[in-house]
Amino acid sequence: MRKKFGLYFFVLAISCAGEKIPKQVIPVNDMSKIMWDLIKMDEYFIRITAKDSLNKLAKENIRLYDQVFRSYGIERKKFYDSYAYYTAHPEQYKVLIDSMEAISTRQRTTLLQKTQPKK
């Protein structure tokens, strides 16, 4: 009976431990910051291309993405490989998206506090 209980406990512990992220994948905290910056770059790109009636900025978004990757010291391939990992693992992807939402909320709160008149 004791051995069965030990085996059940071991199986339960392994199943609840969650999946570890491989070393070659960018950690969730870093990945969420990178993705948040990419979203901001997308917004910037949309704003500047709306003004560009001749569409001279066709490759500007690639340059902006590369700028974000360089600022974090990663290569484009590593980012996209990490992104593919997260999209293939829904639980990890949810953590990533929730982390990005937390960044967004913090920045929004900070911005609103700065724009509120002091009493």
* Structural domain containing residue 71: 27-91
pLDDT of residue 3: 47
- pLDDT (average), residues 73-88: 96
Helical residues (DSSP H) of 51-89, grouped into ranges: 60-72, 76-88
Q: Minimal CA–CA distance to 106: which of 11, 3, 45, 32?
A: 32
- pLDDT tens for each residue of 41-71: 988 888 877 776 565 666 777 888 999 999 9
**Residue 53 resides in a domain:** yes
- pLDDT tens for each residue of 13-27: 333 345 688 889 999
**Distance of CA 13 to CAs 4, 73, 87, Å?**
14, 36, 25
Total residues belonging to the chain: 119
Provide the number of structural domains found in the chain.
Answer: 1
**Residue 99 resides in a domain:** no
**Residue 79 resides in a domain:** yes
Residue 37 CB contacts under 8 Å (≥ 6 apart), including other chains: 68, 71, 72
**Residue 112 resides in a domain:** no
**Residue 5 resides in a domain:** no
Residue 36 CB contacts under 8 Å (≥ 6 apart), including other chains: 100, 103, 104
**Residue 119 resides in a domain:** no
Whole-prediction pTM: 0.72
**Residue 66 resides in a domain:** yes
**Residue 44 resides in a domain:** yes
